[in-house]
Chain A
Amino acid sequence: MSTLVLLTLTGLGVAALYLLVASGLSLVFGLADVLNFAHGLFLGVGAYATWWAADNLPGAGSDGFGFVVAVAFGVLAGTLVAVLVELVLIRPLYSRTIEQVLVTVGLSLAGVALLQATWGADARPFPRPSWTREVTGVLGANVPNAGLLLIVAAAVVLGGLLAFLHWTRYGLVIRAGVENREMVTALGIDVRKAFTLVFAIGGAAAALAGALGGVYFGTVSPGQGGSLLIFAFIVVVIGGMGSVVGSAYAAVAVGLLQQFVNYYGTSGLGDICVVGLLAVVLLLRPQGLAGKVATA
């Protein structure tokens, strides 16, 4: 029983990480049709900015309130980079999607190389509050606090994002843009402002994932974003592109499947099962769990 609880909660922790990355990806793709390979870079920037701030920023630290300041700095840095990327690199190529994808590919290569050039290729120990290294007893299982922190953070972000999308005017524009961009433009609303907004949200969520992922893994390295990004892509496709709720369901399914199969089967089998799940979903329901039809 305790194994079951532990596996479920660690699975949900991984799912939370995927969701933080995938929610931004999914919105960006749904609205702007951009498959954003640079999303891993936002994650890396968030992680490194948090790591840097904990040591160097006055008022920030690796514990207590100082850590909150450090994470806030990391999220801010990720958001800024995302907005800059959108304004400088993506916007001039408006509606030329293949070129936009190519630019984000180049950015992911160059950006990761830049992180590597600045801080080295090796993993660095991540500053984390002492309580995240401890465990909490839940129904007889000792669950790492870092995983619980991820679950809480992802739940808060998901709730905030859904409230934003459903109860504000900007959220309405974004949802309408995902449904039909041309119609929103025809109504006299500048959709490109919504693009910037969506990039900012996605960048902030990814940077938060980078900072909390650093706490979860205990280290930070330049390539960390890349491996998470691929599973986030899978989550986005399974969930249905443009749907945050779909991504949430898909992230939970992927995280739990991965943890359980990796534990009861061979290590590594879980990752393969996830891709198998992707293939099954594509064959039975190509538009994803909750998405608009993903044609063209």
Chain B
Amino acid sequence: MTNSVVEAPPAQVPDELTPGRSRWHGLRPFLPLVALVVAAIVPYSTVNLPGFFEGPLNSPGTLQLLAICLVFGGLAAGYDLLFGRTGMLSFGHALYFAAGVYGTDVLVTRAGLPLWQAALLAVTGGTILAALLGAVALRTVGIAFAMVTLAFAQVGAIVVARDFKLGSGEGLTGGEEGLPLDVSGLPAALVGVTNTVNLYWLALAYLTLVVFVVHRVSGSPTGRVLAGLRDDERRIGVLGLDPYRFKLVAFTLAGGLATAGGVVYCLIVGGASPHVTSSELTLSLLVMVVLGGPGTRWGPVLGGILYMYLDHRLTAFGSSDAVENLPAFLSHPLSQPLFVLGTVFILAVYFFPGGLTSLKSRLTPLLTALRRR
């Protein structure tokens, strides 16, 4: 009876009760806006951050990496709507993301539709898919629900890998090799290395949209019911509300948001590859949310951005000289980003259950104790 219990995040101390620390205190509500503006003007900067990025901030490579990070920040925030805010442990979120990626790619490349139609169809299809599969999967709860969503996502992976053929000719999804996006029908502003900056802004817009939607939903009466479901599902039932319907709404919404993320991701990387359907992608979403702090507004976003950044940069770090010169038993594991991230994740589950966002509340007593000396 215990496995649907999710630890509630620690009670927040209302802002007005904490003493105003500085004159910046009044600016806190505007910080997200400031961050958004800074993120929006990053492409105009030519600052070089050696060690953090390969080239200057406005180089296409760096911008693409940042765009991928932003998309995954948004994905993690959408996944948190399920895991952190409703307490549903879904292992099939990759399916809806992949529906966006492959839906757009197949509709543009194989069916020759214009991008806006393809994107619209993909998002609608992904949302309907989430509603249908959610309707079946939500008949189970807890761990069984996790297994069922995992199985559904596996079907997606099989369909993509087997490369089913429609009629004669080439397969639909390109199988193991993936399907590069046919750019000839795309708007010119989204094609080519020089236009990477537009894709970056697109990714930023997606992240903003997801954060806005998740914020509005969790603040609404529906959001309060979802939080209630996370804390005690039976009580919601006793209050006369139908848990099944509310969970289905959250599942469908999160699925739709993930599909939209897939559309953006497909444009950024210029195609689809089968790894987006793998269960590992869902597992890494879970890692992002837990590392960032489930059920918080910014934790999952930060977790997603940081995870993707580390996943990309640790590969370069692992092949750098500093690591190569270590003895083999250290350098081999360190060259595997997943080993490092998996270990960090396990440590985080033990020592920082609230994720990154709880670091502040954990460090404050320590700092005040140090300052008193």
A89 lies within 8 A of chain B by Cβ: yes
- Contact in complex: B342, A33 (CB < 8 Å): no
Q: Report how far A241 CA is from B142 CA in the complex, Å.
A: 13
A107 lies within 8 A of chain B by Cβ: yes
Interface members, chain B 193-231 (any A CB < 8 Å) = none
Q: Report how far A37 CA is from B146 CA in the complex, Å.
A: 11
- Contact in complex: A241, B144 (CB < 8 Å): yes
Residues of B within 8 Å of A171, CB to CB, are none
Residues of B within 8 Å of A63, CB to CB, are none
Interface members, chain B 260-295 (any A CB < 8 Å) = 279-280, 283-284, 286-287, 290
Interface of A is mostly: helix
Partner of B345, one of A102, A283, A296: A102
Residues of B within 8 Å of A102, CB to CB, are 286, 290, 345, 349
Partner of A110, one of B280, B286, B335, B338: B338
Given A106-B346, A106-B349, answer yes or no on A294-B144 (Cβ-Cβ < 8 Å). yes
Given A234-B147, A272-B158, answer yes or no on A294-B140 (Cβ-Cβ < 8 Å). yes
Partner of A117, one of B146, B335, B341: B335
Nearest-neighbor residue (CB-CB) of B152 within chain A: A275
- Contact in complex: B139, A286 (CB < 8 Å): yes
Partner of B341, one of A103, A109, A112, A272: A109
- Contact in complex: A112, B279 (CB < 8 Å): no
B312 lies within 8 A of chain A by Cβ: no
Mask for B137-167, Cβ within 8 A of A = 1, else 0?
Answer: 1011111101110111011001101101000
- Contact in complex: B148, A107 (CB < 8 Å): no
Q: Report how far A18 CA is from B347 CA in the complex, Å.
A: 31
Nearest-neighbor residue (CB-CB) of A121 within chain B: B336
Number of A interface residues, CB 8 Å?
49
A168 lies within 8 A of chain B by Cβ: no
Nearest-neighbor residue (CB-CB) of B333 within chain A: A117
- Contact in complex: B346, A117 (CB < 8 Å): no
Residues of A within 8 Å of B343, CB to CB, are 106, 110
Residues of B within 8 Å of A96, CB to CB, are 7
Q: Report how far A235 CA is from B71 CA in the complex, Å.
A: 35
Mask for A254-288, Cβ within 8 A of B = 1, else 0?
Answer: 00000000000011100110010011001100100
Q: Report how far A267 CA is from B163 CA in the complex, Å.
A: 10
A108 lies within 8 A of chain B by Cβ: yes
Residues of B within 8 Å of A271, CB to CB, are 154-155, 158
- Contact in complex: A117, B332 (CB < 8 Å): yes
Q: Give, as a whole number of angstroms, the nearest-CB distance from B273 to chain A.
A: 16
Partner of B151, one of A103, A114, A116, A230: A230
B4 lies within 8 A of chain A by Cβ: yes
Q: Report how far A20 CA is from B136 CA in the complex, Å.
A: 28
Q: Give, as a whole number of angstroms, the nearest-CB distance from A110 to chain B.
A: 3
- Contact in complex: B143, A275 (CB < 8 Å): no
Interface members, chain B 309-357 (any A CB < 8 Å) = 332-333, 335-339, 341-343, 345-346, 349-350, 353
Q: Report how far A194 CA is from B32 CA in the complex, Å.
A: 50
Nearest-neighbor residue (CB-CB) of B141 within chain A: A296
Q: Give, as a whole number of angstroms, the nearest-CB distance from A166 to chain B.
A: 26
Partner of A109, one of B4, B158, B342: B342
Residues of A within 8 Å of B140, CB to CB, are 282, 286, 294
B3 lies within 8 A of chain A by Cβ: yes
Nearest-neighbor residue (CB-CB) of A272 within chain B: B155
- Contact in complex: B3, A275 (CB < 8 Å): no
Instruction: Identify which of A102, A234, A283 gathers the most chain B CB atoms within 10 Å of its CB.
Output: A102
B111 lies within 8 A of chain A by Cβ: no
A118 lies within 8 A of chain B by Cβ: yes
- Contact in complex: A106, B141 (CB < 8 Å): no
Q: Report how far A116 CA is from B332 CA in the complex, Å.
A: 9
Residues of A within 8 Å of B151, CB to CB, are 230, 233-234, 237, 275, 278
- Contact in complex: A29, B338 (CB < 8 Å): no
- Contact in complex: B89, A99 (CB < 8 Å): no
Given A226-B279, A268-B158, answer yes or no on A113-B336 (Cβ-Cβ < 8 Å). yes
Residues of B within 8 Å of A294, CB to CB, are 140, 142, 144
Residues of B within 8 Å of A97, CB to CB, are 2-3, 5, 143
Given A117-B335, A296-B4, answer yes or no on A109-B148 (Cβ-Cβ < 8 Å). no
Nearest-neighbor residue (CB-CB) of B144 within chain A: A294
Nearest-neighbor residue (CB-CB) of B344 within chain A: A106
> What are 22 A-to-B residue pairs whose CB atoms are below 8 Å?
A33-B143, A35-B143, A93-B349, A96-B7, A105-B286, A110-B339, A110-B343, A111-B342, A113-B336, A113-B338, A230-B154, A230-B279, A233-B147, A234-B147, A237-B144, A237-B151, A268-B164, A275-B154, A279-B136, A283-B139, A296-B141, A296-B142
The 8 closest A-B pairs by CB, nearest first: A110-B342, A268-B162, A109-B342, A113-B339, A113-B336, A113-B338, A106-B345, A106-B346
**Beyond known contacts A96-B7, A103-B349: 13 more, CB 8 A cutoff:** A29-B143, A33-B3, A35-B146, A97-B5, A103-B346, A108-B283, A113-B333, A117-B332, A226-B280, A241-B143, A268-B158, A282-B137, A296-B2
